[in-house]
Structure formats: C-alpha cells, structure tokens
C-alpha cells in the first residue's frame, strides 16, 4: 500500500508540474497579434499556469512535508477541486479564440483537459488510499 | 480440490512488476487496434462528409480562379479568398443543354482587422435555387434566413444569438452547423441578400481586392447537377467549349487527390495495426511462456496438494484474462484521451478531412478492441496453459526442469 501511495504522490507532482510549465512552454495558447497585443486565450494560459503552480506546491507539500495519512488525504482532496477549476478555465471561465482550429483550441485546451482529468483521478485514488493507510496504521 | 477463485488475482498482486509489464503490453496492443481503427474510420467519414457537402457534379468558376489553383485551397482546404464573374455568364451557363439543377454561390473573405470579428470564408447562396448547402443547413436550422442572419460552421466559437461584425455590418448568428470534418467547419453561410450587402460594405471601405464590381451583377461560382439522360462529361465539355473565360470542373476530380492521400494513410495504418497485432501476439506468447516457466515450482506445489490439470490451466487462463481485461481497457481509455480531445491537431497534421464517428460507433470500437485484445491474450497464453497442465511434478520439485 505504501509503495502505491508514494507512486501516486510522485505522479501527482509530475502532472502538476506538467500542467504548470507545460501550459507555459509546451502547449501554450496563441501568440501575440501583429500589433503586440494578446488575444483572450493568453489570459486563460496565465490562469492555468497560476493554478498549475498552486497544484505543484500542494502536491510537493503532500509528498515531502507531511507523513500523516489524514493530512495527505485532505491535500489530495483539495488537488481534485483545484484541478476541476483548471479544467473549467479554457473556453468556459475564460473565452478562447474565435476559431476552434487555432492553437489555443487545438492544443492547449485538450492538453489542459487531459492533464486535469488525470490529476482528478490520481487525486481521488490518493485520497482514498492515504485514508485507508491511516486507518490501517 | 477446491481452489479459491481469488487465487489468480492474488497471484497477479503478488508480483506487481510482472503484472504491470504484461498490462502495459496488452494496453499498447489495445491502443493500436482501437486508435488505428478509429483513425481510419474518421478519415473515411471525413471524406464521405466532404463528398456529400460538395453535393454537385460540376463547379464553374472564373478561369483565373481555376488556373491560380486557389479554388481547391478555398473549397477543400479552408483558405479564405474570393473571385467573381459577371452574372451574364451564369445566365449563359444556365441555358446550356443537359442542366438538371443550377445555383450560384458568392464568396467573400472577412479581414482580421478591426472591421471584422474574425477572418473567415463567407459563402452566400441563393435559397430559391440552392441544392448543396440548404439540405444540410436544414438539419440545424429549419427556418428561412433573414437579412443579416448567418449560420456558422461548427469550428467557430460563436453561438446562436451572438453578433459577429463583418466589414462593419452586424450579423446575427441564427444557427450553428453540425461538425463536418471539412473546411466548411470554419466558414460562415448566409443568403445572397446579406452577402451582397457585405460585399458592398467591403467595397465602400476599400477593403475588397476587386474595386469595380457591382455586387448585384456578379457571382463567384456556379454549381450544377446534370439532368437525367445527360452525362456530366457532356455538360462539362459543353460549358468549357461555349462559355468563355470560365472553367467547369468535375467536383469528383477535385477530391481525387484527397481520396488518394486518404487511401495511402489508411493503408499505412492498416499495415501498422496488423504488424503490431502480430508482434503483440508473439511478445505476449513469449512473456506468458517465460512467466509461467519461472513459476513451474509454484504450479507443481499446487498439483501436489491436489489441484487437477484443468485447474492449473484454469488459473493461468484466468490470470491472462484479468491482465488482458485491465490492459485492453487502459489502452482503449488512453486512445479516447488522445483521439477525442486532440482530433483538431490530428486533422491539421494529416491535412485531410477528419470526422469522428458517432458515440455509439466509438463505443462499438472500444468493445471490439477489448474483445480482440482479450482473445489475443487468451490465444497467446493457451500454449503455456496447456504445457503447465502437463508438467511432471516430481521432476520439477526435484529441481530438474
């Protein structure tokens, strides 16, 4: 059980880092316009970056700072909620560009959706297993 | 002897590394079968969608438009552009013998600057004569389009009731079309009254490449269906011979390049599926054989305490079944997570029409991939199961393999 929870914690750290830095450097939104101004999708990218940073800090804290199962379970639960918020950012809470063929729709949005879903699922598993671990100990 | 039904599961949990590797292998197999099949189907659905959207036998365009090859980029690849010819040409084409249905279309490309909400291809049609766009627009919008009403393609991030501005003219989104997987997904459709007003506005703002045209006296292209008793070739040749400065093109010829590319991609994917399936089958065969071989003593002990040959084979088969079920489901889920959200990227990468089939069809492919992977795993393990059921217990326990 211990091994699985450690693996899950590390996976959550990696996914959070991917959401945070990936949104900024790998699957970023559309670039600036010719006049240098930004389209709406840029602010969605910034928001996801910020949320990713929070997720990364929390998952690192969960993995390395606490040993108590209940605390870890609580943090894992909060990760799920924050990842759900990230999931809602592109095109729901913050509008993206007008055409679905543009980079923000074609690359950033699906990447954020897939990573957020993975964080939610891993967070759910981590929450249950840490709780179980705590009860067993 | 009665063996606990949980034994195969406990065996798998007892060696997590071996279990993880075998699940990974079956997941790859399932991913390839499901992903490959879905890709091929989506490409075929996309081509079929494009064929039905073109919907006419012949397209007549100004000669310069056909020779500059911007016709295909506008009609098939979604590039924005426009060209015009005199309406008199339309009248002359209409008088050609052998024409069953005929309708004119009007093109205009909006600009990306401040006068327009976005840069898109605007296609105007005559609702009274149109036979290509109206049939599939009717599926999304059953009413008559009013002046300044527009219908947007599925890939535009605009919704019913929104207002889009083109050349300073406010247009109301009356409907949004279903996904077609073609360049029409990024186009805007409207009636001829509206598009003529938009062309006039672009002329007024000095933003139209054609400076001296009268929007009421021009058309962009003419779509034709041959009448019964006449071949498409006859009508096409007749127009090309008798109407000057226009070019009649067979729509089937326009998409022949796409059909060829699609056939090539489909063949590659099909070969890849077969190669991966055969390789997967061999790898699973070896993996199960090695795994079972390492566990000969474990099975010999079970045999000594009273397990029958069939029970040993049953344990091995159940383990394979559980592994393949988990792996195939994981592979199918992974395939869904890659193909569904990233379909736009795939479409752009392949540069071919790409339209995912219905949810029911996708569920069918998931089920088929899971069943095929489980069958492959079971066939691969059956050799090992047969061998383990025939082991010589005494030899194994003596340490003589």
Same domain, B327 and B202: no
Q: Determine, for residues B154 and A113 on separate chains, whether the beta-carbon distance falls below 8 Å.
A: no
Same domain, B207 and B270: no
Q: Tell how strand B121-125 and strand B187-191 pair up.
A: parallel
The answer to whether residue B269 sits within a structural domain is yes
What pLDDT is stored for residue A4 in this prediction? 82
The Cα B181–Cα B344 span in angstroms is: 9
Q: Determine, for residues A99 and B337 on separate chains, whether the beta-carbon distance falls below 8 Å.
A: no
Same domain, B274 and B243: no
> Can you give the pLDDT of all 401 residues of chain B as single tens digits?
666 667 778 877 877 888 888 899 899 989 988 998 898 889 888 888 877 777 788 988 888 777 655 666 666 666 677 888 888 888 899 988 889 999 998 888 887 666 667 788 899 988 888 888 888 787 777 788 888 999 998 888 888 888 888 888 899 999 888 888 777 888 899 998 999 999 998 888 888 778 778 888 889 889 998 998 889 898 999 999 988 888 888 888 777 777 777 788 888 888 888 888 888 888 888 888 888 877 777 777 877 887 787 888 888 888 889 999 999 999 999 999 989 989 888 888 887 888 888 899 999 999 999 999 999 888 888 888 887 777 777 776 666 55
Among all residues of chain B, which has the CA nearest to that of A114? B337
Helix (H, G, I), strand (E, B) or coil at B352: coil
Helix (H, G, I), strand (E, B) or coil at B359: helix
What are the residues facing B8 on neighbouring strands?
Answer: none
Same domain, B114 and B30: no
Regions of chain A short of the pLDDT cut 70 = 1
The answer to whether residue B69 sits within a structural domain is no
* Residue B132 parent element (H or E): none
CA angle B268, B273, B277 (to 5 degrees): 150
Same domain, B105 and B222: yes
Residue B276, domain extent: 7-49+258-397
What pLDDT is stored for residue A19 in this prediction? 95
The Cα B83–Cα B87 span in angstroms is: 13
Number of other residues whose CB lies within 10 A of the CB of residue B251: 21
| Sign of the C-alpha dihedral computed for residues B191, B167, A104 and B157 taken in this order | negative
Q: Determine, for residues A113 and B117 on separate chains, whether the beta-carbon distance falls below 8 Å.
A: no
What pLDDT is stored for residue B15 in this prediction? 78
Going from the C-alpha of B133 to that of each of A28, B153, B157, B177, B320, the distances in angstroms are 36, 12, 21, 11, 53
The answer to whether residue B65 sits within a structural domain is no
Number of other residues whose CB lies within 10 A of the CB of residue B228: 7
Helix (H, G, I), strand (E, B) or coil at B103: strand
What are the residues facing B124 on neighbouring strands?
Answer: B106, B190
ipTM confidence: 0.77
Residue B130: φ, ψ to 5°: -60, 140
Residue B373: φ, ψ to 5°: -65, -45
Q: Determine, for residues A98 and B344 on separate chains, whether the beta-carbon distance falls below 8 Å.
A: no
Residue B175: φ, ψ to 5°: -160, 160
The answer to whether residue B40 sits within a structural domain is yes
Spell B329-360 as b/e; 16+ CB within 10 A means b: bbbbebbbebbebbbbbbbeebebbbbbeeee
Tokens 């209409």 -> residue: B94
What pLDDT is stored for residue B70 in this prediction? 64
Q: Domain boundary at B188, B217, B251, which?
A: B251
The answer to whether the CB of B284 falls within 8 A of the CB of B381 is yes
The answer to whether residue B262 sits within a structural domain is yes
A115 DSSP assignment: H
The Cα B262–Cα B26 span in angstroms is: 28
Helix count and strand count (H, E) for chain B: 15, 11
The Cα A11–Cα A19 span in angstroms is: 12
What are the residues facing B104 on neighbouring strands?
Answer: B222
The answer to whether the CB of A135 falls within 8 A of the CB of A68 is no
The answer to whether residue B247 sits within a structural domain is yes
Same domain, B277 and B227: no
Same domain, B126 and B143: yes
Nearest to B119 by CA among B149, B79, B87: B79
Q: Domain boundary at B251, B271, B303, which?
A: B251
List chain B residues with CB under 8 Å of A8. Answer: none
What pLDDT is stored for residue B370 in this prediction? 93
The answer to whether the CB of B265 falls within 8 A of the CB of B352 is yes
The Cα B36–Cα B361 span in angstroms is: 14
Q: Determine, for residues B341 and A113 on separate chains, whether the beta-carbon distance falls below 8 Å.
A: yes
The Cα B278–Cα B286 span in angstroms is: 12
* Residues of A at the B interface, defined by Cβ within 8 angstroms: 91, 95-101, 105-107, 109-111, 113-114, 117
Which residue out of A8, A101, A113 would a mutagenesis test of the B interface target, given it has the greatest number of B Cβ atoms within 10 Å?
Answer: A101
Same domain, B155 and B290: no
Q: Where are the beta strands (DSSP E) in B81-226?
A: 85-86, 99-109, 121-125, 149-152, 163-166, 169-176, 187-191, 218-219, 221-226
Same domain, B273 and B301: yes
The Cα B53–Cα B298 span in angstroms is: 64
The answer to whether residue B155 sits within a structural domain is yes
Domain count, chain B: 2
Helix (H, G, I), strand (E, B) or coil at A1: coil
Helix (H, G, I), strand (E, B) or coil at B347: helix
What are the residues facing B348 on neighbouring strands?
Answer: none
List chain A residues with CB under 8 Å of B117. Answer: 98
The answer to whether the CB of B255 falls within 8 A of the CB of B51 is yes
Same domain, B193 and B323: no
The answer to whether the CB of A98 falls within 8 A of the CB of B116 is no
Looking at the whole model, is its pTM more than 0.95?
no
The answer to whether the CB of B366 falls within 8 A of the CB of B336 is yes
User: Does residue B182 sit at the A interface (CB-CB below 8 Å)?
Assistant: no
Same domain, B321 and B278: yes
The answer to whether residue B160 sits within a structural domain is yes
* Residues 341 through 370 of chain B touching chain A, CB cutoff 8 Å: 341-342, 344-345, 348
Same domain, B178 and B163: yes
Q: Determine, for residues B154 and A106 on separate chains, whether the beta-carbon distance falls below 8 Å.
A: no
Q: Determine, for residues B157 and A99 on separate chains, whether the beta-carbon distance falls below 8 Å.
A: yes
| Side-chain half-sphere CA neighbours of B340 within 13 A | 14
Q: Domain boundary at B199, B234, B251, which?
A: B251
List chain A residues with CB under 8 Å of B345. Answer: 106-107, 110
């Amino acid at each position: 059980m211990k091994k699985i929870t450690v693996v899950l914690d590390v996976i959550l750290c990696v996914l959070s880092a991917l959401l945070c830095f990936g949104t900024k450097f790998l699957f970023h939104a559309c670039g600036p316009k010719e006049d240098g101004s930004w389209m709406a999708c840029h602010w969605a990218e910034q928001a996801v970056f910020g949320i990713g940073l929070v997720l990364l800090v929390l998952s690192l804290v969960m993995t390395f700072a606490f040993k108590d199962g209940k605390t870890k379970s609580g943090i894992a639960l909060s990760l799920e909620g924050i990842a759900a918020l990230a999931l809602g950012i592109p095109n729901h809470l913050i509008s993206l560009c007008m055409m679905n063929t543009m980079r923000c729709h074609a690359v950033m949005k699906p990447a954020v959706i897939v990573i957020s879903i993975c964080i939610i699922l891993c967070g759910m598993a981590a929450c249950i297993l840490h709780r179980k671990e705590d009860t067993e100990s | 002897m009665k063996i606990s039904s949980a034994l195969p599961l406990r065996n798998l949990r007892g060696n997590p590394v071996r279990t993880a590797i075998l699940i990974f292998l079956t997941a790859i197999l399932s991913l390839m079968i499901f992903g490959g099949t879905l890709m091929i189907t989506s490409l075929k659905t996309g081509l079929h969608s494009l064929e039905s959207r073109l919907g006419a036998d012949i397209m007549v365009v100004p000669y310069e438009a056909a020779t500059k090859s911007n016709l295909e980029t506008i009609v098939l690849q979604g590039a924005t552009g426009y060209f015009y010819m005199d309406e008199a040409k339309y009248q002359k084409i209409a008088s050609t013998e052998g024409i069953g249905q005929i309708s004119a279309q009007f093109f205009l490309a909006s600009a990306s600057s401040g006068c327009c909400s976005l840069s898109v291809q605007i296609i105007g049609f005559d609702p009274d004569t149109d036979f290509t766009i109206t049939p599939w627009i009717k599926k999304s919008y059953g009413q008559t389009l009013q002046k300044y009403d527009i219908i947007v393609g599925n890939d535009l991030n605009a919704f019913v009731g929104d207002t889009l501005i083109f050349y300073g003219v406010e247009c109301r989104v009356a409907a949004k079309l279903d996904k077609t997987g073609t360049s029409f997904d990024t186009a805007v459709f409207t009636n001829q009254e509206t598009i003529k007003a938009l062309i006039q506005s672009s002329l007024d703002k000095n933003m139209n490449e054609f400076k001296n045209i009268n929007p009421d006296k021009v058309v962009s292209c003419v779509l034709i269906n041959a009448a019964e008793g006449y071949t498409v070739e006859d009508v096409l040749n007749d127009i090309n011979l008798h109407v000057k400065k226009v070019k009649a093109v067979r729509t089937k010829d326009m998409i022949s390049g796409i059909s060829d590319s699609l056939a090539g991609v489909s063949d590659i994917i099909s070969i890849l599926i077969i190669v991966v399936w055969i390789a997967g089958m061999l790898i699973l065969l070896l993996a199960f054989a090695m795994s079972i071989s390492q566990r000969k003593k474990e099975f010999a002990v079970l045999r000594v305490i009273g397990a029958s040959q069939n029970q040993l084979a049953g344990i091995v088969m159940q383990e394979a079944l559980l592994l393949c079920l988990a792996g195939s489901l994981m592979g199918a889920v992974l395939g869904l997570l890659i193909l569904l959200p990233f379909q736009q990227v795939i479409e752009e990468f392949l540069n071919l029409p790409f339209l995912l089939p219905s949810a029911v069809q996708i569920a069918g492919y998931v089920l088929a991939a899971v069943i095929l992977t489980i069958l492959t795993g079971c066939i691969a393990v059956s050799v090992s199961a047969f061998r383990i059921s025939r082991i010589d217990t005494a030899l194994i326990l003596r340490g003589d393999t």
